[in-house]
Structure formats: structure tokens, C-alpha cells
Structure 1
Amino acid sequence: MVAGDGSTRDRSTRPEGRTARPSARRAGPRRPPQPAAAVPADGLVVGDPPVLARVTGVLLVLAGLAGAAALFPTYLVVGGTEVSQSAGALSLLAGLLVPLTAAAVGGGLAAGRVPRLGLAYAGIGGALALGLLLIELYRASTSTIRPGIEVIAGQRVLTSSVDVGPGWVLGVVALGLTVLAGVLGVAAWGRTVMDDAGTLDPVRPALAGAAAVLGVGAVLCLVLPAADLPDRLVTDPTTGLQVVVEQEGPQGLLERPGLALLGGLLLAGTVVLCSVLAPSLRPRLAAVGGLLAIAAVVFAAGLGGLRDAVVSDELEWTLPGAGLLLAGVGYVVLTVLAWRLRRAPAR
């Protein structure tokens, strides 16, 4: 462009002192992203457990220790025969299963870890222990009113006279502590904060149905003796005919009178009711705790029947005994499934 004085002005030149602004600013060094806060698995939220829940855990630990110690001294003296529950490895396995499980779960509850798992175990375990406690009280007190054949720790005895041993006392203390822990566990349940995202909700109906079937099957097997005396085949010397003679075997769960009958009815009803209730407990780990309590009791009863048949030369393992052991294995499988199954809840 030509100016009025004949000079040429270049508009492309900028006045001195002014610098061209850069079109974009140079970014400084980028900071590493802050690590995201750790999210608990399954969205699990656990609050500080109340003191009552920790006391429940301590009672479970004491019950487990007392139950384990009860295996070694003399249990009962029945008809002049000393009976101990620690005769053989299978006897120890059957006797230690419930006490060790209670001590492990109670220790975690007393430490404040996943409290509703321990509370569910305590509540259902306490309900089951009530029926067992009544049976034990009958066995040591009123079983002599109507003497009968009993199989205790693999020994076939006649309840003509019964004397209590230190093993029985420790066992009753363990059951009493378990019942008390169950009462405190139910009381502490509503005060305990623990929940998750509901990853077990889609499969809860299937778990409840399977547990109900196992519960009914377990009760049908509990009603009959797990180990029984086989029938004898006797030959008549005059005619040469062979006659089948039935031998009086151990009494079934509901064949005993008084406290034993009441305890058997409570045990049978509790197994079925808690089998339906346990899979519905929230959160997922609470369902695991409830199923674990049933699995321990039923599996221990099945091992006890197998123990009776192995230890005694007179007894044979029965079909109900095998079914009871299979029911215990089934409860263990359901417990593992409740622990491992995690599905996104339907929106």
C-alpha cells in the first residue's frame, strides 16, 4: 500500500516492542493420575460391630474350646461301661468338626471381621444346639427310666444305669454357650451394619430350594439310626428251617421319650426351617455363615454314623446313615456356592 508521502507501508510488519502471541500455550509436565479409591469386593460395606456382636464371638470361641476338650475325658459310664468320644481318628474328626468351626468363626467375629457372617452362624448354630442340648440332658438324666439299647461313640450299651463324666459336662457347657451365643447373635443382628451390592440375589431362590430339599432329606435320615444291628439268620434244629430274627438296635431320633423327643422335634424342625432361612440372609456372607452352621452339624452327624459302623463289629452302616453323610456334603457344596457365586443383580 502506498502512503500519501510516497512511502510504502508494510502492514505485515508489527510495531516494535510487541511480540507475536503464540497460538497455543505450551503445556507443562503432566501429573500422574491420582490412584482411585479401592472399592471393596461386591460393594461390601462393613460398619464397626457393636460390643454385643464381639461378645457373641467370644462365646463361640469358648464353646468351641469346651467342645474340643470334651472329646478326651470320659463321656458317660453307661451300664458299667466307660464311653469316650475320642476312640480313633474318625471319632476325633466327627467330634472336632463343629467345635473347630465355631472357634474359627467366633474368633473372626470377636475381631470385628465380617460380623454378620459370625452372627448368622451363631443364630442358626444356637437354634440347632438347643435340640442337641435337650437330647444330652435326657441321655444323662432320664434315659434310665425306660432302658434301651443305645450306640454312643461306636459302643453298643444298655441304659440300665448312667453316670456323668467330665466329657459330658464339658459338652453340655459347650452346647449351653452356643445357645447363649445364638440369643446374643439375634439381638445384635439389627445393630450391626453390613451389606453388599446384592450379587447373590439372582441365585438365592435356587439356593433356598436346594437347601430345603436337603433339609427334608436330612431330617428323614436323622429319624432312623445311622448304624444298626443286622438281622440274624437262625436255623431251627428240629425242622431245619431258617428264620430271620430281628435284633434290638439303637433307638431312632424320635423313639425316645421326654426331653429327647422334644429335642429331636426341635432339631428336625430347626434343620428344615433354617435351611430355607439361611440363603435369604443379607449380605452374601451372612448366607454363607448360616449355611455353614447347618453344614457343620449335619456333616458331623453323618460322620458320627460312619464312625459307629467302623468302630463296632456288631453294627452295620445303614442307608439313612449314608444319606445323612451325603446331605452333609450337599450342605458343604451349597455353602461353597454361596461364597463363590457372584452375579450382577437385575436392574
Structure 2
Amino acid sequence: MAGRDRSVRDDRTRGGTDRRTGAAAARARRPAPDRRPTAAGEGTAPADRPRGDADGLLVGDVPAGARVAGVLLVLAGLAGAAALFPRYLVVGGEELTLGGGVGAVLTGLLVPLVSVAVGAGLAVGRVPRFGLAAAAVGGALALGGLLIELYRGSSSTVRPGIEVLAGERVLTSVVETGPGWLLQVAALGMAVLAGGCAVLVWGRTRMEDRGALDPARPGLAGAAVLLGVLTVLCLALPAADVPDRLVADPATGLEVVVEQEGPQALLERPGLALLGGLLLAGAVLLAAVVAPSLRPRLAAVGGLLALTVTVLAAGLTGLRDAVASPDLEWTVPGAGLLVAGLAYALLTVLAWRVGRTARG
């Protein structure tokens, strides 16, 4: 009996040891949990490693200056949206409002809404070089617009001329500024500051990928430069102009063409407006060259996005002016701006999709 009890105990001991050994082996064979996040900046990651995803996108620590640029972009967008509704300018006793109609409001909200969306993402540290690229390109483009805006509200009366402001054909003999103009100047000024912050912190912001866009960059850059040249040529002339009139000559009875004075071209204005026009044209060409070369892929997408909304907004503004005013008609340069803006939008989508297609 005692021998049988010892045999049972030995069997139980061996069984328990075998079960423990099997469980330990199963735990050893079990793969370690993957701690990589599923998207840049999501999930958990060790504190001493940059964040990354399956696409090879690595995002390091976001500098405080990048977050400041994001906040400035948000404020610029909010100020730009608010500028649409109060009085903009009083020209010759006529009050003008930037958001005078549904079409004007929708057109005017394009740049502010993109600015708020991009700035919010940058402020919380998501894909920072995407936001920094958009802020840098947008700030360069806003500098020329800021000088033109300052000219309209301060020195346009020094050399009065016909202008198209807020969809109205006016003579800038007497100009008074309103809250809408102040908000517009503030919005452009904060966009310029955001661009400056983006340039300063660009080199200290780490964000890398596997280079899926690299094979397509030369073609993308070539198309962007061609569109940049087209955009500058179209900006040089008014997007909405006063059409010529046919008048019957009472002496001969023949109809003759009488030219009417229309709005001044971008490079025909004096002082700050001329400087702003030159800076705007130069910024468009520079952005068209630089944006497709920015790394990683999402940085190129951000730069092209800022260029897209600026050019598209200019084209839509010309179309809005021609539709809203019976004295104006849409011009070929205005149509060219709209085409260039849509083409830039296509390039932006292509730059975004190329990397995703290569990843799939």
C-alpha cells in the first residue's frame, strides 16, 4: 500500500511538472505583442523611440515652435472667416463687405477653413511637417497679399483708379477702412508669422518615410512649375474686367468700340501694391519649385495644398465678381486661374495617393 501511494504521488508530480513545462513552452512560442502604433502619433511607443507606422513614417518630438505655428494658423483662419461679415471698406461713400452673398461667403471661407484644419492638426503635434510645409508656403503667399491689402486701405487714394473690391467696381478717390479690413490684415499677418515659425523649426522637426513618392517627384515638380508660370501670367491681368462698349457714330452711322477703364492689373499699381504683386508672383513660382521636393511625402502634400487653395481662391474670386456685378465680365486670365487651381488640386491628390498606392 505504501509503495502504491508513493507511485501515485510521483505520477502527480511528473504530471504537474509536465503541465508547467508545456505552459512555459507555449508562452515562449507566443509572439511578443506589437507595440508599434497603427498611425503616426497613435497608440503606445517607448519614450526613447520616434513614433512610426507600418508605412515607415517616423515622427519624432514636435518642437514648441511648430505648435505655435499651428495656433497662429488657427487664429489666422478664424480672423479670415470673421472678416467676411462686418464692413470691409467705404469707397466713395459706398460700403463694401467681403461676404456679400452666399457665393462670396463660400469663396471667402476656402482659405480660412483649410488654415484652421491644418493649424489644429499642427498644434496637437500630428504629422508636423505636413502642417509646417502648408504654413511656410501659405505664409510666403500671404506676404504679398498683406502688402496689397495695406495699399487698399491706406495709400490707394494717392493715385485714385478703378478697382474691383468685394465684387464692386469702384473709384478709389476716398477710402475708409472698417472692421472687416482690420480682420483681413490681422489674418494675413498671422499667416505670415506662422510661415516664419514654420521655417525656423523645420530643421528641428523629425518626420521621415520610406520615400514612396521619390520616383514621381520629377514629374510632379515639372507640372507644378508649368502651372506656376501659368498662374503668374494670369495674375498679371484682372480676373474680372469691364467689357468694351459698341457705340454708333452719329456722323457715319458705324459702330465703334469704346474702351472703358477697368480695374488695374496687379503689376500696374504703385507703391506697396506693386511690391506685393511682385512678391506674390515670386512666391507662387518659388512654392511651385520647392513644394514637390519637400520630404516626407506628406510635407509635399502640405505645400501643394497651400498653393492649391490660394490659386483656387483667386480664380473663384474672379468668377464671383463677374457673376455678382453686371458691369464686369469674366476674363481669360480669370478662367486660367481657376484651371490652374483645379490642376494644383489634382497634383495634391496625386501626391497623396502615390504613397498610399505604393504602400498597398
TM value normalised by structure 1:
0.89
* Greater relative contact order, per chain length (Cα 8 Å cut-off, separation 6+): 1
Q: CA deviation at 1:41?
A: 4.1
Pairwise CA distance, 1:273? 1.0
> Counterpart of 1:263?
276
Tell me the SS of whatever aligns to 2:336. Answer: helix
Q: Which residue of 1 aligns with 2:7?
A: none
Larger of the two Rg values belongs to structure: 1
Percent identity at matched positions?
Answer: 70
Query: 1:79: how far off?
Result: 1.1
2:220 paired residue among 189, 192, 207 = 207
Provide the C-alpha distance between the structure 1 equivalents of 2:54 and 2:173, rounded to a whole number of angstroms. Answer: 58
| CA–CA separation in structure 1 for the residues paired with 2:150 and 2:196 | 20
SS of residue paired to 2:95: strand
Match of 1:189 in 2: 202
Quote how far apart the aligned CAs of 1:42 are: 2.5
Q: Secondary structure at the match of 2:79?
A: helix
Which aligned pairs between 1:64-75 and structure 2 lie closer than 5 A? 64-75=77-88
Picking from 240, 245, 257, the partner of 1:232 is 245
Aligned residues: 321
Alpha-carbon distance in structure 2 between the residues aligned to 1:51 and 1:220: 39
Which residue, out of 290, 299, 317, partners 2:312? Answer: 299
The runs of 5 or more residues in structure 1 that have no matched partner are: 1-24
User: What is the CA–CA distance in structure 2 between the aligned matches of 1:279 and 1:255, rounded to whole Å?
Assistant: 31
- Structure 2 match to 1:40: 53
Structure 1 position 257, deviation (Å): 0.6
Q: Give matches, 1:210-225, under 5 Å.
A: 210-225=223-238
1:135 aligns with 2:170: no
**Residues 1-347 of structure 1: matches in 2 within 5 Å?**
28=22, 30=26, 31-36=29-34, 38=36, 40-342=53-355
Question: 1:37 & 1:266 partners in 2: Cα distance?
Answer: 48
Q: CA deviation at 1:226?
A: 0.6
Which residue identity does 2:110 align to in structure 1?
Answer: L
Report deviation, 1:86. 0.8
Q: Measure how far apart 1:325 and its partner are.
A: 0.4
Structure 1: how far apart are the matches of 2:219 and 2:353? 15
Q: How large is the RMSD of aligned CA atoms in angstroms?
A: 1.7
TM-score (norm 2): 0.86
Give secondary structure in 1 for the equivalent of 2:62.
Answer: coil
What SS does the aligned partner of 1:42 have?
coil
- Matched residue SS, 2:268: coil
Q: Whole-Å Cα distance in 2 between the matches of residues 254 and 195 of structure 1?
A: 40
8 A Cα contact 1:42 1:198, kept in partner:
no
Could you tell me whether the CA contact under 8 Å between 1:90 and 1:303 is conserved in 2?
A: no
Q: What letter is aligned with 1:154?
A: G
Match of 1:8 in 2: none
Secondary structure of the 1:238 match is coil
Residue deviations 1:50-86 (CA, integer Å, cap 9, x gap):
1111011001101110010000000000111111011
User: For residue 323 of structure 1, what is the amino acid of its counterpart?
Assistant: G
Deviations 1:175-215 (A, max 9, x none): 11011111111001011111111111000111100000010
Q: Distance in 1 between matches of 2:116 and 2:35?
A: 34
CA distance in 2, matches of 1:120, 1:68: 22
Shift of 1:246: 0.5
Instruction: Report the alpha carbon displacement of residue 236 of structure 1 after superposing the two structures with TM.
Output: 1.2
- Asked if structure 2 preserves the Cα contact closer than 8 Å seen for 1:153 and 1:307, the reply is no
In the aligned structure 2, how far is the partner of 1:235 from the partner of 1:136? Answer: 40
Q: Deviations over 1:246-275 (max 9, x none)?
A: 111111111101100000000001101111
Contact between 1:254 and 1:261, CA under 8 Å: does it hold in 2? yes
